[in-house]
Amino acid sequence: MSARRAGARRARAPTRSVGRDAFGLAEQLRIGAIETRVYKGRDQFGRLGNLAKAYGFLVGDTVRVKNRLRSVLRSKGVAYGAGQSV
């Protein structure tokens, strides 16, 4: 193929971008135009997902306990600074 024909071929190709592709796919999903369903089994990453969920629960529980402890200390008149850890 000559360089001239290759240049003409590139000029006719539509410009594509990641953002434009993502927007188009999101729109197709929104209106239900995509019928193919993709399912990923939990075989390989099931344990990782469970560990991540447990970590999230632990972090939330830790924050709740710290806030409750601070509230109890505040109600008893115990002074603590903003930079100090309880």
Q: What is the DSSP string of 3-49?
A: HHHHHHHHHHSPP--HHHHHHHHHHHHHHT---------STTTHHHH
In the chain, where are the structural domains located?
3-75
The amino acid occupying position 81 is G
d(CA 23, CA 17): 10
> Which of residues 24 and 15 earns the better pLDDT score?
24
pLDDT of residue 63: 96
pLDDT digits (tens, 9 = 90+) for 23-60: 888 899 889 888 887 777 777 788 888 999 999 999 99
* Nearest one of 34, 36, 17, 35 to 26, comparing CA atoms: 34
Write down the pTM of the prediction: 0.46
